[in-house]
Chain A
Amino acid sequence: MIRQDAHRIDPKRRAVIDPKKRQFATPTYKQQDYAHRLNIYEIPPTAEITLEQFEQWAIDRLKILAEIEACSYRNKSPAETATYITPLLQKFLPLSSNTSSPSGAADPRLRNERQKDHYSHFILRLAFSATEDLRRRFTRAETMLFKFRFQQDDSREKRAFIDSLNLDWEAVGDFEKTEIAESLLSSTPGLRRLDDETWYKVDWDKVPELVERRSVFLKKGKAYVPGREQLSMIMAEFTARLERALELTSRALPRLDEDDRLTPILNHLSKNFGSAESVYSEGEGYVDGSPITASSIDQLAQQHFPLCMKSLHVNLRKNNHLKHFGRLQYTLFLKGIGLSLEECILFWRQGFKGKTDDEFNSQYKYNIRHAYGEVGGDVNRRGKGYTPYSCQKILGDSNPGIGQTHGCPYRHYSVDNLVGFLQATGVNDKEVLRGVREDVGKMRYHIACNRVFEATHKNEIKKVKEDGSWSQTDLDTIVHPNTYFKRSFLLKQMAKAPKEA
């Protein structure tokens, strides 16, 4: 006999049937009673729902997730996100606490809300487990949603919920606490007195976020986590479980193919998730008209490139060289604006003045061709190489190290260097520079970049607004360097050529 792990929850607790008949019996499932408002989504739903419910619930949840994602792309602060999301949640995916009803968790209204939350989560799991990219985005958005709700929860229910999770946290005893008091205090930002806090000892890999930020005390592989960092630990747990579950779902997914009612709905859902992000579609950055060549880059860079690409360009011209991540970021951008592979190779060849042809061909050319999908694995070639990086990607990637030049100047330059560079590129308006400083101070890098865009294209924007040729959506916040280029290019074209009749 195989003994089951005690922690494992039997997902489909079947009624006891004669083992011989079990194979053919219709399974009956235990109904779930949603005792807590929050759900860590361990147990899949088993009751029947209609197709309409299936679709509607999924769409409602998707709306929320898309909005949450959009907030993070726009760099909204948690408070801003909260005010924005709360009414939407109320409308599409309400989830009330036990105290909101006199009969507590037994209230049918609460039951229905929780059921919808539960089911819609699992439906979207099906829709978003297919590719790694979708899985990652789904996990991120779900984690944010969970975090948001967790923070809203009242403390008693929070406690009850946490207890139900069975996490093994070992409390730190008083003796040990006083022994390492100083270390505990200095590794917990903002804590004044030791007695205010209870501490838990956990394996450090349970709290990677805290370790990475160096805001927890570590000793011999154990992290001493203050009670208020529970959130971080629960988030990590939630994410980890969801990632694991999505992996499993993706493996089971092929078997769902046979169901011709659900598959179209699921496909449709996963496609719709794209709308919120600045997903880069092929040809998006291309502009008709003038073909872009290696020799025109200098001029275009000066006029139309966003600051991150200008910075790369300036560095390339200054040093006749760029380090790897800089090359990659720039190459993909150039690919995005429609520079052909041949021209791109020519551009880099001319840019790397100090290198011999041999060096260039052996060390750099392959990478450029790889970025265009000319060479490399099947997947790379079929996908035409990598897509140009979005702001999200550039901001979120690792910081440039010593001697590296990639990244976003608004984020990775010191403020003084940033302002100096802006002035060098012709942004001298005091008001704008002050605004940029402020944005950067609040870590709103997009806003700073868009501010600069608006300032440098002031007249053109005014014009297209006045004659109504561009709607407000055409002037939405820029979240992709290639959008920056395209919009800038089009605006200047408009201003140059009088409108065609």
Chain B
Amino acid sequence: MPHSITSGSAQNDDDMPDAPPVETSTETNVRLEDMFNDDDDDDEEFPASGDVKMESPKEEPPAPTPSGVDPDIMLAFYQRLFPFRYLFQWLNHGIVPTKDFGNREFALTLQNDAYLRYQSYPTADLFRKDILRMNPSRFEIGPVYSTNPRDRKTLRGGQMKPVSKELVFDIDLTDYDDIRTCCVKANICAKCWSFVTMSIKVIDTALREDFGFEHILWVYSGRRGAHAWVCDPRARNLPDDRRRAIAGYLEIVRGGSQSGKKVNIKRPLHPHIVRSLELLKNDFARTTLGDQDTFETAEQAERLLSLLPDKTLNESLRRKWESSPDRASTSKWADIDSLAKTGKSSTLNPATLRDAKQDIVLEYTYPRLDAEVSKKMIHLLKSPFVIHPGTGRICVPIDPRNAENFDPLSVPTVMNLLAEIDEYDAKHPPGTAEADIPDVEGSAMNGSDMKGGRKLQDYEKTSLKPYIDFFRSFIAGLLKEERNGKRERDDTASAVKADPMEF
């Protein structure tokens, strides 16, 4: 076994005798809303995808787990690659362990699909140790509570309150099923990923320019979506009604299967919408009309017509399109204007038509958020850098400034990564000079051969490195602001303290 697991986690066992007891029973004390937040069957994470091969390197594969990724491989990943220290720093907002991390809820999905809520860890080491012990197929991050979530049963009802959590957003391509033609359900391709790219651009811009947030971490969800974590201190402390306000502000495409027209916005357009339209205009032409060729089928063309306001114009369009069934979406879209210009329809109001066309562009390109996720502080969201159990891909961060170039299909899978380590180790046997690099912060956390100087971290031998580096620089920016914020608070506090001294 090239990447077998080092026996136990011996390096940590001795110096951490105070590890808290871990509940092993499946948590049943869960409120109904929470239960459902993540388990709606239609966005289930597990159906095996067609495009990823999951080959176990073992001769005799063990009994298949529901997740699709071998538990041993999962463990090797946690042991050698998972950036526990950075995750800790990210959630702790500093180096010294605080309540921000200690009272944070983690929810673990174990290999047997049991779901363990209300886990919490005082330090990064204990966190790592427990994850290695439980070897969850994935885990999620919840809010920081007013008390330690593990103590909740010793408290009277209602005393444990969520106090802060990153403001989160969830984009999932299944919500685009009625407008994407290339794939359905859990499958994705480069064509439909551009919907996610557009969403990232629009949401990221709005959060930064309108709400003034700066620390926004975008994370690939491992299969067909992306999550945003807004980490600014102000965002973390928002109560639920303010979260709802932001979600409402950003939500434009509304309505269920029977709602008809899904975009109904009043004029004049709000600056946020004007800006979004500007961002999306080209994407509409490229993606909806070009790559997706959405209006090609008669059914979709009919849907397009139902969104246009003028009956006479619709009639002439319908006649035209029926006579040439294979007409491409781009031409159909152009037909709307060219036929409108002929002036055949006397009832046509150019302004109404323009508005309707804007609505259509929005309906087919504007981000479709799962708004419920953003509205509640207690909502759990999958942690960055865990493995998506279905695809084996790592939930890596996405750089929003460079979102166009992110390709979900080239995100490393856990199998690739482990192979890369082996490859590297084979090329650079331990002890050779180039394997040594100067010590950096955050070392010695993940398994690396310890003898002789500072060795390369395992992740640095793999294609995961750029992602972790990005994450690290993100955290650095966040911590810098936290430090400034703290200093400001300290300053005002000391000013107050100084007061009584004036006698």
Binding site for B on A (CB under 8 A): 1, 3, 132, 183, 185-187, 189, 204-205, 208-209, 211-215, 217-222, 311, 315, 321, 323-325, 328, 359, 362-364, 366-367, 370-371, 375-380, 386, 398-407, 409, 412-414, 416-417, 421
Contact = CB atoms under 8 A, between A and B. Distances in A.
A221 B268 contact: no
A1 B500 contact: yes
A205 B255 CA distance: 26
A95 B262 CA distance: 46
Given A212-B249, A412-B259, 4 more contacts: A323-B40, A328-B32, A399-B254, A412-B255
A212 B368 contact: no
B32 A370 contact: yes
Interface of B: 28-32, 35-36, 39-42, 113, 157-158, 175, 177-178, 209-213, 234, 238, 241-242, 244-246, 248-249, 253-262, 266, 268-274, 368, 370-372, 375, 496, 499-500
Nearest to A416: B260
Contact of A417 (B244, B260, B370): B260
B272 A214 contact: yes
A405 B256 contact: yes
B32 A376 contact: yes
15 contacts: A185-B268, A205-B242, A208-B244, A214-B248, A217-B271, A218-B211, A359-B41, A367-B35, A375-B28, A400-B255, A405-B256, A405-B257, A407-B256, A414-B258, A417-B259
A221 to B, nearest CB: 3
A84 B388 CA distance: 58
Nearest to B41: A363
A417 B211 contact: no
* Of A375, A377, A402, most B-chain CB atoms within 10 Å: A402
Nearest to B32: A370
B269 A186 contact: yes
Contacts of A211: 245-246, 248-249
A371 B35 CA distance: 11
Given A187-B271, A324-B40, A366-B35, A3 B500 contact: yes
Contact of B496 (A3, A311, A409): A3
Contacts of A324: 36, 40
Contacts of A380: 31-32
Given A3-B496, A401-B371, A412 B32 contact: no
Given A3-B496, A211-B248, A205 B30 contact: no
B256 A412 contact: yes
B255 A204 contact: no
A457 to B, nearest CB: 25
B35 A219 contact: no
Nearest to A364: B41
Contacts of B272: 214, 218
Contacts of B35: 366-367, 370
B245 A403 contact: no
A376 B29 contact: yes
Contacts of B370: 401
The 8 closest A-B pairs by CB, nearest first: A221-B212, A414-B260, A400-B256, A212-B248, A208-B245, A218-B210, A220-B212, A186-B268
B41 A403 contact: no
Nearest to A217: B271
A402 B259 CA distance: 9
Nearest to A222: B212
Given A217-B271, A413-B258, A204 B29 contact: no
A219 B210 contact: yes
Contacts of B28: 375-376
A416 B258 CA distance: 10
A412 B178 contact: no
Contacts of A398: 371-372, 375
Nearest to B248: A212
Given A221-B211, A324-B36, A363-B39, A376 B256 contact: no
A362 B42 CA distance: 14
Given A211-B249, A214-B270, A401 B32 contact: no
